[in-house]
């Protein structure tokens, strides 16, 4: 199939693997930031085909995984209100809150709908003027432009009952938090190609300078990842620390100006707590004053009790690349995709679910 098969060619993959093998002379730890990249790496078994010197650790770039418990609890409590319709992308529905997920809210009578675009949720709002429609705005810089556009359209078309429950997070502050944390092992990053399609890579240039870490903007197909890893290893071996772009078919340095404009009009940076990582300054987005009327948290200011995470779950360590999923005592026993304790076990992009579905188990790691 065009635009897919050419990026999955086994012959070319073997060639790049051999190139990586010839380039590497000592151990390096590289973090792929995005959950989509983790999914491809594990599903295709790429991490096991790499030379033993190259260790891949899995970053926090799974939006489902880092959305804090309190926001999920808020979504569940809004979903149960008879005067609200909660619209969400599909994979948020199974994310466990402190006691329930959105599927359970739906089974209990809540009006929870899966949509494929925030603009679909806007249509739901127009069709149900007597109820407040809440779109669960989850994701990184990638999903922010479409969500911003939906709010802007709602304003232009006077759809007052359309709101966002905003849980947006930003990649660069999380990378800074990981690099600054005591015990950090990450020596280089594969930056998320889709985020950079929107934002470009100028934000990453100061990070390479301040922390002397190579950053390679990388795509999501097997050959993208192998090429990104090769470029990263070459920088590490040569002692360079620059931003390079592997994903040239999609990303330019300045990003998508129109998308960034609409995001800047509708959203502003704010401090945000990340599930597993804790609060990170300026790492989230919230609606600007001008659009605050479309903020679901303003419309439904329910008090949601803060509930601590499961004590067994080591999601925070996993999301910082300081532990592998199967290092967790609960992995595959108390915590499975059916009964996830922590969010990385829920979405197929979460590192724990990716490991579980790929059959990675404790004993499989010793090799």
Residues that bind another protein (CB under 8 A): 1, 4, 8, 10, 13-14, 36, 42-46, 48-49, 63-64, 89-94, 103-104, 106-108, 114, 116, 120, 138-140, 142-143, 194, 222, 336-339, 347-349, 357-359
CA distance 159 to 123: 9
Measured from the CB atom, is 64 or 149 closer to another protein? 64
Contact between 161 and 294 under an 8 Å Cβ cutoff? The reply is no
CA distance 363 to 83: 51
What is the distance of C-alpha 133 from the center of its chain? 24
Contact between 314 and 356 under an 8 Å Cβ cutoff? The reply is no
Measured from the CB atom, is 235 or 275 closer to another protein? 275
In whole angstroms, the minimum distance from the beta carbon of 202 to another protein comes to 21
Strands (E), 186-277: 188-192, 215-218, 243-245, 267-274
Contact between 214 and 228 under an 8 Å Cβ cutoff? The reply is no
In whole angstroms, the minimum distance from the beta carbon of 233 to another protein comes to 18
CA distance 2 to 337: 33
In whole angstroms, the minimum distance from the beta carbon of 169 to another protein comes to 12
Measured from the CB atom, is 225 or 262 closer to another protein? 225
Measured from the CB atom, is 111 or 235 closer to another protein? 111
In whole angstroms, the minimum distance from the beta carbon of 183 to another protein comes to 30
Beta bridge partner(s), residue 114: 88
| Strand 267-274, strand 278-287: pairing | antiparallel
In whole angstroms, the minimum distance from the beta carbon of 5 to another protein comes to 9
Measured from the CB atom, is 178 or 353 closer to another protein? 353
Cα dihedral 128, 134, 140, 141, rounded to 10, equals 50
Measured from the CB atom, is 264 or 357 closer to another protein? 357
Collapsed DSSP state (helix, strand, coil) of residue 203: helix
In whole angstroms, the minimum distance from the beta carbon of 106 to another protein comes to 8
Contact between 223 and 249 under an 8 Å Cβ cutoff? The reply is no
Task: Please work out, in degrees rounded to the nearest 5, the angle formed at the alpha carbon of residue 98 by the alpha carbons of 97 and 100.
Answer: 55
Measured from the CB atom, is 23 or 88 closer to another protein? 88
CA distance 37 to 41: 6
68: which residues sit within 8 A by CB, 6+ positions away? 167, 272, 273, 274, 275
CA distance 164 to 118: 9
In whole angstroms, the minimum distance from the beta carbon of 221 to another protein comes to 10
In whole angstroms, the minimum distance from the beta carbon of 45 to another protein comes to 3
Measured from the CB atom, is 8 or 81 closer to another protein? 8
């Amino acid at each position: 199939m065009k635009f897919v098969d050419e990026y999955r060619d086994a012959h070319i993959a073997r060639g790049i693997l051999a190139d990586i093998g010839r380039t590497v002379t000592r151990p390096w730890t590289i973090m792929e930031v995005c959950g989509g990249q983790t999914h491809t790496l594990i599903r295709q078994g790429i991490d096991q085909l790499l030379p033993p010197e190259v260790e891949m650790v899995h970053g926090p770039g799974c939006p489902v995984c880092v959305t804090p418990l309190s926001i999920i609890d808020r979504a569940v409590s809004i979903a149960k209100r008879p005067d609200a319709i909660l619209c969400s992308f599909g994979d948020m529905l199974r994310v466990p809150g402190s006691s329930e997920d959105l599927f359970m809210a739906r089974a209990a009578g809540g009006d929870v709908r899966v949509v494929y675009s925030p603009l679909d949720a806007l249509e739901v709002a127009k069709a149900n003027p007597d109820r407040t429609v809440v779109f669960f705005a989850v994701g990184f810089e990638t999903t922010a432009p479409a969500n911003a556009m939906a709010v802007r359209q709602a304003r232009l078309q006077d759809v007052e009952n359309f709101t966002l429950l905003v849980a947006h997070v930003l990649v660069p502050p999380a990378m800074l938090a990981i690099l600054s944390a005591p015990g950090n092992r990450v020596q280089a990053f594969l930056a998320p190609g889709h985020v950079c399609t929107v934002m470009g890579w100028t934000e990453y240039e100061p990070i390479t300078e301040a922390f002397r870490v190579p950053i390679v903007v990388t795509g999501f197909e097997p050959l993208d990842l192998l090429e990104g890893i090769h470029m990263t290893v070459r920088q590490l071996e040569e002692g360079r620390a620059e931003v390079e772009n592997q994903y040239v078919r999609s990303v330019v340095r300045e990003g998508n100006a129109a998308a960034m404009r609409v995001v800047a009009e509708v959203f502003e940076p704010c401090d945000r707590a990340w599930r597993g990582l804790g609060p990170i300054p300026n790492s989230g987005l919230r609606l600007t004053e001008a659009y605050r009327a479309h903020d679901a948290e303003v419309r439904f200011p329910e008090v949601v009790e803060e509930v601590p995470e499961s004590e067994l779950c080591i999601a925070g360590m996993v999301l910082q690349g300081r532990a592998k999923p199967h290092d967790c005592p609960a992995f595959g026993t108390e915590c499975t995709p059916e009964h996830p304790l922590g969010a990385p076990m829920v979405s197929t992009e979460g590192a724990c679910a990716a490991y579980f579905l790929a059959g990675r188990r404790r004993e499989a790691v010793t090799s």
